[in-house]
Structure 1
Amino acid sequence: MLAVALPGSLLLTTPNPAVAQESGETITVLDPIVVTGSSSGVPDPRDATRLLPAASGGQVATGSQLGILGNRDTMSSPFNVTSYTAKLIADTQARSIADVAASDPSVRAIFPRSSYRDVYSIRGFNLFSYNMGFDGLYGIAPKQRFPAELAERIEILKGPDTFLNGIALGGSVGGAINIIPKRATDNPVTSVTTSYVSDGNMGTHLDFGRRFGSRNEFGVRFNGIMRGGDLAIDDQSDRLGAGSLSLDYQGDRFRFYGDFGYVNERFDAPDWAVTVAPGVTRVPVPSSTASLSQPWAWVKTKDAYGVVRAEYDLSDNWTVFSAFGISSTETTGIFVQPTRLQANGNFIGSIASFPSAGVHYSGQAGVRGRFETGPIEHNVTVAIARWNQDLKATRTGLGTFPSNIFNPVIIPRPDSSSIIDLDDIHRTAEHRFTSLVFADTLEMFDDRLLVTLGGRLQNVVSTNFAATTGLETSSYDRTKFSPAAGAVFKLTDNISLYGNYVEALQQGTSAPATAKNYGETFAPIVSRQLEGGVKVDWGAWTTSVGVFQIEQPTGITDPFTNIYSQDGEQRNRGFEFNVAGEPFDGFRILGGLMLLDGRLTRTAGGKFNGNKAIGAPDYQINLGAEWDTPFIEGLTVSARMINTGTQFVDAANTQSIDSWTRFDVGARYVFERSEGKPITLRFAVENLLDTKYWASAASGQAAGISRGAPRTFLASTTFQF
């Protein structure tokens, strides 16, 4: 949500799609131009997909993509969004989206960083990595983990996004994450970055970009990453190969983009979420580097994706657009989940194989336009969207073994002959999401009042099949309309009040086998949010304050009738404060806090009504700072504190994990060459004090507790040519 307002104009640069984009590890600073179509912060239809420039300090952008609304500067947005830049990604040496999200006080990773995938909590609700958007399209980004070095921006929206982006497979109740890929900039880009992560993981990243043609109308950007080696936790290692290619054409009225990528990663001895045995009220904490897995455990993921996008300006005020993407994903391996953790550290290791694969098709088409009715200016968007998913997955148990977190045991590799190969698994699910969306942002009172009204009519067709036989087991076809309203009132050129009402739409659940109505499917689940706040632009830095309430229905089984229904509910109320920018020359800040009251408001038989929700801490605090030292030119030092309150592990609120605080420090030095571009040296330590802690608790598909990452040393050098 953090940005610098630009009163009276919309700041853009050049007719390229890479407006003020960061060139890999550096920012390309271009001369600004003023787009005169609107002074409200709502861009002309032809400029709706152009990136807005970085804010003061370069760590966040002045605006972000709001789905079908297009890019909006933050002071004109009725939502809370933070757009993290490629500069922040490079300077923090982020390897995945979770490393970027570590700067956001409303977000926490709820799966171990020392695993092969990322799962998040935003405003106290789960978000899986396969629900991330890729340039506004769902189903395209790699399923388990996305290398942060391939991204130009990481945009984190707080609150439901069904209206903006459509339904997500697992739902996006508390917020959403959108990845903006790197594209060619006007200035040539050639850089090589070498990296080191303790205890011996080495990597190389190549970033190359050029524009061609008499008017620079053709662009190409390539990024390639290779890294591998041992990690800080015993027995763990990681090998990654990833690449992305972006092609674009910028004509007078026609623009075309093609973004393609491939990620192949193998993770040995991955961590997993840990379940706690009933009755354990004091949860023990293992050594930060002890392996709770096995040396022979491994997970391999492969993802390939491609998106083509086109825009054509019918006139200065009307633009048609379309996009189509396809992706494939595959995950195989053997993992160990620690279960039934006891107070003395004993646990049962559960060995399993969980192969999965899928093919996704995602697309949208629509028109954006601007017109006036008397004193009101309308900015309208009408679009249709479609997301097809064909999935297959199964699970094979391979036995259990006893162990202890303080004295882990190593056992022989189990017989894996019973594992079902992916090629032998039938499809297990087909999902078809189709929607029609309409939005109108009305500009009134000399553009001081912006009111956005609209909604999305979403159709969900879902069919499930048995993995071994391919026979249909359940299905439903439901349609639901999700309305939305948002408003921004600009008290002054640098103070904006904002508010919104939005809904999240999730697939309806099915009654479990233990219920009397086993197999019954339910209508899509509707979660509702009310939010309001104020944003202030102080010039070189910004602050924002907001409050929100989200109500999410949940499934429960009546203890008396044994009938399953969607009559449960969790309600999260919260307060957010964010700050970003450069309040003093050479001194930058980024962070804030979230106060959260997550409650179970309706539970089975009312047994846990009023209890704290699982994994909903009372507070989350992030505060980062950078200082360009005056005594050594080119040297910057940094520090960050991440603090999270106590979290309950069970609905009864009898089990909990302690609050925790993590400190990170770093430094970078820019060596200016007399006859060439600079070299940047970086060094950082995450978890400086090597604190042992459980980082998060969660329910649902990520149920369990996840430990924090150990002390990790990072070093990198970027050579620019």
Structure 2
Amino acid sequence: MTLDALAQSSLGSETVSRKIINQEQEKEERIIVQEYSFDETKGLISGGKKARHANIGLLGNKDLMDTPFSVSSYTSKYMEESQAITLSDAITQDPSVRSTSQEGGLLDSFSLRGFPGNEGNLGEVAFNGVYGIAPNYQLFPEYIDRVEVFKGPATFLYGMSPNHSVGGVINVISKRADAKNRTQLTTGYGSDNRFSGHIDTSRLIPLKDHEMLGIRFNGHYRTGDTPWHHQNKKEGAAALAPDYFSERFRSALDLLIQNQKVNAPVRPFMMKEGIPVPNAPGSGTNISQPWGWWHSSDQSVLLHSEYDLVNDITVFFNIGGAQTKVERLSDQIHLITSEAGDVKSTIKSFRFDIERYTLDAGLRSAFTTGYVDHQIALQTSLYHDRIAMSRLTGPEIFSNIYSPKWVTNPNLPAPGEVAKSSESQLSGLALADMLSIFDDRFQISAGLRYQKIQSDNFGKNHGRYDKSAFTPMLGLLVKPWEPVSLYANYTEGLSKGDIVPNDAKNAGEILPPYKSRQYEVGIKIEAGKTISTLSLFQITKPSAQPIGNQKDNSYYSADNEQRNRGVELNVSAEPWKGIRLMTGVSLIDARLTKISNSAKHKKALEGKRPVGVSAIQANAGIEYDVSRIQGLTLFSHVMHSGKQYVDLLNTQSIPAWTSVDIGGQYQTQFLKKNAKLHLNIKNLFDRNDWSGVASYRTFSQGSPRTLLLSAMLEF
């Protein structure tokens, strides 16, 4: 298999690929593993912090200049230099993405193009292009090679999201062995009193008959007190990634174990109607009870294999699954009941068992008809999830966000046997054709996915549906000049309908699936070491709200619609040698455009901004290589988000905020080994802000100022 073919396969690496060369001129045939590293204009940009390629789901690995979509791809080097703690730290550099959860909390949830993602108890982060594998609530960067952010609905490309995400797809690519055999040891410290250790080791072993075996292992452990008051965390992960390659067959296995234990987990807030949102409490304030705790464990496995039937036809399959177990005892969401910051919450003891598995298979083929080149992809897929839950409810707690009050641990027992609460199965069939003419200067990507959705709710009021839908995709890309790509796309997204709350008249009913639609146009320009993307988009998504029904006004219907129109600009540049920029801005005009005729507050709601959508989000990052001190690099990152509404009537909001991070990296030699030292200060000015608003109208505290130090030694 050629290197170019490998780069287009699902196993292809965009920063480093493997190549088997048959040296015919030698007396004996030898297998040579040769490192193939793209230069900054071909494989990596922004000093290696971003990649030029991304896995575009069913379409495979693509150069971003040949993709009729807006995609960003952040590398492990970026995560290493920024000392990212969770996935959230790795992707909020993108102005289209914001975290809607708190750093000291239990999960990473996001807003993508103004729509929620990864909320609830079903993780929506794809792992090597597949749902149902990644740890359910949070991911750690230590085992991640790249984080890819695909913007817009992507049901056709990745299959239907497990929950309701339509604003985009976050896809993580696991670290694998490359041509550089390595062993790296990293130790770290973080305020207030947190220590960590990480090992990253890999080997690539040539075998006989043009075969190769690769193996990579990442393990890390982090423990200690965090910057949040009276909070302690212990977390660890082990990821093993073996590979096997031959001329026609390739296989990759991922085995992952991840555990977290958090004492006094930070919880989000909600507002009582009719009062303004008070100012955020002091930096690092944690009003959760000190005796509260959260334990979670994740186990994941994924096997991907490919076989070349002939030179231009490859068959592939993915099979894997994940299990998550959670136990927790803590005060639940804090309801703020007064402008003075009074809050009330309820103690609850929970147990969750979450099981997911996935299976897909298909083929890819390339051929030419006349002057037209085709790349065909066919895939059938199956995803299944099951949530079992039990809980016990304790007493209410009354406190204050400025003067927290501690109560005695009620010592609620652990709940008994967990009962199945919901079960879903998503199956589908997809076909895509990527056509190109004039040396790929004119490209059309078209496809259709048939998606079947079966879902059961086993709560107090049982609900079930069995629905299906078609989701098309059409993309157009034109290169009038070599450094310019003009593109347009139409995509659709499909998401599960909501389960109607228990206090509604039609409680327990599962509403029909929501179909979202996106229209997008854009331009990508490459000039030297600069790549810029300008996008204009519109996404519409139906939603459910309570509507008037006879006397109780509590019947739920999916007759409403949210429309987000936006402009995005992303620039990755090196304007002068040793100075690199990663900047961007996202402007979104989001509105509730359709409200059911019988909805409560219909006239008041029409035209309002949806909950949690900022009109402006901007990022600016700069990196400078200090010429007088070889190996020293300094960097700074500024992030800004505009005002966000907490309620549908737009009477309650959190103000705009700006955060500044700074840091530095020093590369040197220690004991004749390569070494790196990192220092980062997050939220340099220690601002007290509310940060993000989730779709459930919960909002979170911004992270306190945090000092991070690390030292890496490579053997």
**What one-letter code is carried by the residue in structure 1 that aligns with 2:581?**
I
Among 561, 564, 579, which residue is 2:571 paired with?
Answer: 579
One-letter amino acid matched to 2:356: H
**Aligned residue pair count:** 683
Is the contact made by 2:459 and 2:508 (CA closer than 8 Å) also made in structure 1?
no
Note the C-alpha offset of 1:86: 0.7
Q: 1:383 is matched with which residue?
A: 379
Percent of pairs identical after alignment?
A: 35
For 1:595, the aligned partner's letter is L
Q: Is the 8 A contact 1:105 1:594 kept in 2?
A: yes
Task: Provide the residue aligned with 1:716 in structure 2.
Answer: 710
1:522 shift after superposition:
3.2
* Aligned 8 A contact 1:53 1:61 in 2: yes
CA contact (8 A) 1:555 1:564 kept: yes
For residues 578 and 137 of structure 1, do their structure 2 counterparts lie closer, same or farther at Cα, with a shift above 3 Å needed?
same
3-state SS of 2:78 partner: helix
Return the offset for 1:515: 3.9
Change (3 A) 1:379 1:365: same
Unpaired stretches in structure 2, ≥5 consecutive residues: 19-32
1:439 to 432, 445, 449: 432
| Structure 1 counterpart of 2:539, one-letter code | I
Partner of 1:110: 100
SS, match of residue 420 in structure 2 = coil
Letter in 2 for 1:620: Q
Cα distance in structure 1, aligned partners of 2:161 and 2:603: 30
Q: Which moved more, 1:267-276 or 1:552-561?
A: 552-561
Q: How far apart are the structure 1 equivalents of 2:565 and 2:163?
A: 22
Q: Structure 1: where are the runs of 5+ without partners?
A: 1-8, 35-40, 42-51
CA distance in 2, matches of 1:332, 1:140: 20
**Structure 1 segment 658-677 matched on structure 2, within 5 A:** 658-673=655-670, 676-677=672-673
Given the alignment, which residue of 155, 162, 166 partners 2:155?
Answer: 162
1:184 aligns with 2:177: yes
1:296 alignment partner in structure 2: 291
Partner of 2:26: none
**CA spacing shift, 1:641–1:267, aligned 2, 3 Å:** same
C-alpha displacement at 1:199, in angstroms? 0.4
| Aligned with 1:495 (options 484, 493, 498) | 484
Distance 2:233 2:611 in 1: 31
User: Per-residue CA shift, 1:482-540, capped at 9, x if unaligned?
Assistant: 11111111121110011111111011234444444444443211011111110000121
1:454 aligns with 2:444: no
Task: Find out whether 1:357 has 2:353 as its counterpart.
Answer: yes
Q: Which amino acid aligns with 1:556?
A: Q
Tell me by how many angstroms 1:560 deviates: 5.0
Q: 1:404 to 1:333 in 2, by over 3 A?
A: same
TM superposition shift of 1:475 = 1.2
One-letter amino acid of the structure 1 residue matched with residue 708 of structure 2: L
For 2:479, what is the secondary structure of its paired residue? strand
2:566 aligned partner, one-letter code: G
Q: Distance in 2 between matches of 1:455 and 1:607?
A: 39
Structure 1 Cα separation of the partners of residues 128 and 455 of structure 2: 25
> Does the 8 Å contact 2:330/2:347 carry over to 1?
yes
1:85 aligns with 75
Amino acid in structure 1 at the alignment position of 2:483: N
Match of 1:476 among 447, 465, 472: 465
Corresponding residue SS for 1:427? strand
Match of 1:645 among 614, 620, 642: 642
> Contact conserved, 2:225 with 2:232, CA < 8 A, in 1?
yes
**What is the Cα deviation at residue 56 of structure 1?**
4.8
TM-score (norm 2): 0.92
Question: 2:375 & 2:512 partners in 1: Cα distance?
Answer: 33
2:14–2:54 Cα contact (<8 Å) kept: no
State the AA in 2 paired with 1:570. Answer: Q
Aligned-residue offset at 1:246 = 0.4
What secondary structure sits across from 2:713 in the alignment?
Answer: strand
The aligned residue for residue 48 of structure 1 is none
Q: Out of 629, 636, 653, which is 2:626 matched to?
A: 629
- In structure 2, do the counterparts of structure 1 residues 305 and 15 end up closer, same or farther at CA, with 3 Å as the change threshold? closer
Tell me: CA distance 1:22–1:411, structure 2 relative to 1, closer, same or farther (3 Å).
farther
Q: Quick check: 1:596–1:617 contact (8 Å CA) kept in 2? A: yes
Q: Distance in 2 between matches of 1:20 and 1:613?
A: 39
Counterpart Cα distance in 1 of 2:487 and 2:105: 38
How do residues 19-34 of structure 1 correspond to structure 2 at under 5 angstroms? Answer: 20-21=15-16, 30-31=35-36
- Aligned partner (choices 658, 672, 683) of residue 679 of structure 2: 683
Residue of structure 1 in register with 2:25 after alignment:
none
CA shift in 2, pair 1:14/1:668, >3 Å: farther
1:272-351 to 2 correspondence within 5 Å? 272-336=267-331, 337-351=333-347
Aligned equivalents of 2:163, 2:14: Cα separation in 1: 33
Amino acid at match of 1:661: T
Question: Residue deviations 1:617-638, cap 9 Å, x none?
Answer: 1100111111000121111111
Partner of residue 413 from structure 1, selected from 406, 409, 412: 409
- Per-residue deviation, 1:349: 2.7
Cα offset, 1:57, TM superposition: 1.3
Distance 1:53 1:168 in 2: 29
Contact 1:662 1:691 in 2 (8 A): yes
Kept in 2, the 8 Å contact 1:16–1:250? The answer is no
Query: Structure 1 residue 353: deviation in Å?
Result: 2.5
Which deviates more, 387-396 or 451-460?
Answer: 387-396
Q: 1:258 aligned to 2:247?
A: no
The answer to whether the 8 A contact 1:17-1:183 is kept is no
Q: Which residue number corresponds to residue 707 of structure 1?
A: 701
Does the CA contact (< 8 Å) of 1:325 and 1:363 recur in 2?
yes
1:444-469 alpha-carbon deviations (Å, 9 max, x no partner): 233211111111100011122248xx
* Contact 2:351–2:418 (8 Å) recurs in 1: no
**Which residue of 1 is the match for residue 693 of structure 2?**
697
Aligned mates of 1:115, 1:315 — CA distance in 2: 50
Compute the RMSD of aligned alpha carbons.
Answer: 2.3
Q: Which amino acid aligns with 2:658?
A: T
Partner of 2:370: 374
**Aligned with 1:275: secondary structure?**
strand
- Counterpart pick for 2:229 among 229, 234, 238: 234
